[in-house]
Amino acid sequence: MIEKTYDEVKNNFEDIAALAYKGKEAVFISNEGKDDLVLVSREFLNEKIEDIVIEKMLESDEKREKMFPSKTYTIEEVDKMMEQRIRNAAVRGEA
């Protein structure tokens, strides 16, 4: 994390912007001793947004799985189930 004051940004914007680009991190800008703004490159911002979206998708997948647990089957298991259903349908005269 890099911290700069308004005056430092005003007097050295190009150098401080370069820090955000090169370091691929946020530059926190303070005003009267309090954090006020954050300067980040578009690339950094997009990466962080992607990270958040992926994290939320994984969380929602976990929640969905807890609410609606599902079983996965191998191809062999599906084949056996289908063969059994076909045999059952044949016995009932449906096939």
CA atoms of 95 and 89, how far apart (whole Å) = 5
Question: d(Cα 23, Cα 4) in Å, to the nearest integer?
Answer: 15
pLDDT tens digits, 11-45? 988 888 888 888 788 899 998 888 889 999 998 89
2-40: CATH architecture: 3-Layer(aba) Sandwich (3.40)
Question: Domain map of the chain by residue range?
Answer: 2-40, 43-95
Mention every residue, 6+ apart, whose C-beta is less than 8 A from residue 56. none
pLDDT for 95 equals 59
Span 59-85, pLDDT tens digits:
887 887 777 777 788 999 999 999 999
**Confidence band of 2 (pLDDT split at 50, 70, 90):** confident
